[in-house]
Amino acid sequence: QDNASWAGFMELIWTPTATVEITGDLRYTRERKDFDFEQSRSVYSSLQDSPNITLDTSETFENWSPGITLAYKPDNALTIFGKYVRGFRAGGFNMLVNDPALLPYDSEEAENYELGFNALLLEQRLQLGASVFYLRIDNALVPQPDPGELGLFFPLQNVAIGETTGLELDLAARITDELSLTASAGAYHNSITDG
């Protein structure tokens, strides 16, 4: 398998007032995957009358992923933000399968919504950040057992819609000029729907 990919990214920051900042970004991704594959039957698959597999193909995946962030900064110590971002994971080809239909898989596309804040406290010796988010992945890729080969292979397959909601907390404290403490925590709920 030969992969060739490139991407371009652009970001524009606009501050219409002293306390409001709007950031827009756009990413373009292009991936070409050339796949030349040949797999002979094993002793086990011969008993199941599984076929030899030969495939020589290529696929190109392209995507535009926009994003926007709105930040409110009432002073130098506090930022409150809301964010919307789209994401992309190119499709491709599985390397080990028993069923030829499981060789290719399609791209994933994601949407992320996030609200949060960052604060500097105690004369900027303590930095606290928190955010809540919702992530939706269409055409989610999940390893699934291959029906052959004793279930030893788990090729990626597009199965459904994946959703994650979560909360993240970050803390950074400067105890002394020589000693700092950082900590983070998160709570997440993941689910697969419509599949």
**pLDDT tens figures, 91-105:** 998 887 777 788 889
* The pTM of the whole model exceeds 0.85: no
| 151 vs 133 pLDDT, higher one | 133
Q: Which residue has better confidence, 126 or 154? A: 126
Residue-level pLDDT at 49: 55
Taking the CA of residue 64 as centre, how many other CA atoms within 13 Å lie in the half-sphere pointing to its CB?
4
Q: What is the pLDDT of residues 6-35, one digit of tens each?
A: 999 999 999 999 999 999 999 999 999 998
Q: How far apart are CA 35 and CA 57, in angstroms?
A: 5
Q: Which residue has the higher pLDDT, 83 or 38?
A: 83
Considering only CA atoms, which of 110, 103, 104 is closest in space to residue 91? 104
Rg (CA), the chain: 23
pLDDT band at 128 (very low <50, low <70, confident <90, very high): very high
- Spatial contact of 5 and 90, defined as CB atoms under 8 Å apart: yes
For 15, 34, 111, the CA distances from 106, given in Å and listed in that order, are 39, 15, 17
Torsion, Cα 73 74 76 77, to 10 degrees, reads -90
Q: What is the pLDDT, as a whole number, of residue 73?
A: 96
pLDDT in tens, 65-76: 999 999 999 999
